[in-house]
Amino acid sequence: DIQMTQSPSSLSASVGDRVTITCQASQDISNSLNWYKQKPGKVPKLLIYDASNLEIGVPPRFSGSGSGTNFTFTISSLQPEDIATYYCLQYDNLPRTFGQGTKLEIK
């Protein structure tokens, strides 16, 4: 099974800051990676698919990059509504696997 190592597990930043989260796959997954945002009690929301493609309706301050085993998710200018937990998901192989999540808080 492919392991996804996501870091950091938590992050505190100020409004307007640039925020970066990483996911590392235990083997090559090409660009088969999604990034999700989840607020407490809510359904996960897809932000980025195929590692770098912005889902329709998602603000352009969100972006993703990477391929192979190393992936990065960036919020260019943190907004208060971005407070949530973020997850990566690899779908190159079954079983699919999520990263452990990054809880983002406002400083």
Summarize as ranges the residues that interact with other proteins (CB under 8 A): 1, 34, 36, 38, 43-44, 46, 49, 55, 85, 87, 89, 91, 94-101
Q: In angstroms, what is the minimal distance from the CB of 67 to other proteins?
A: 20
Distance from the Cα of residue 22 to its chain's centroid: 7
Using CA atoms, how far apart are residues 48 and 73, in angstroms rounded to an integer? Answer: 9
Q: In angstroms, what is the minimal distance from the CB of 15 to other proteins?
A: 26
Using CA atoms, how far apart are residues 4 and 107, in angstroms rounded to an integer? Answer: 27
Q: In angstroms, what is the minimal distance from the CB of 64 to other proteins?
A: 14
Retrieve residue 80's tokens: 């208060």
Q: Which is nearer to other proteins, 63 or 76 (CB)?
A: 63
Helix (H) or strand (E) run with residue 40 in it:
none
Q: Which is nearer to other proteins, 64 or 99 (CB)?
A: 99
Using CA atoms, how far apart are residues 69 and 21, in angstroms rounded to an integer? Answer: 14
Q: Which is nearer to other proteins, 54 or 91 (CB)?
A: 91
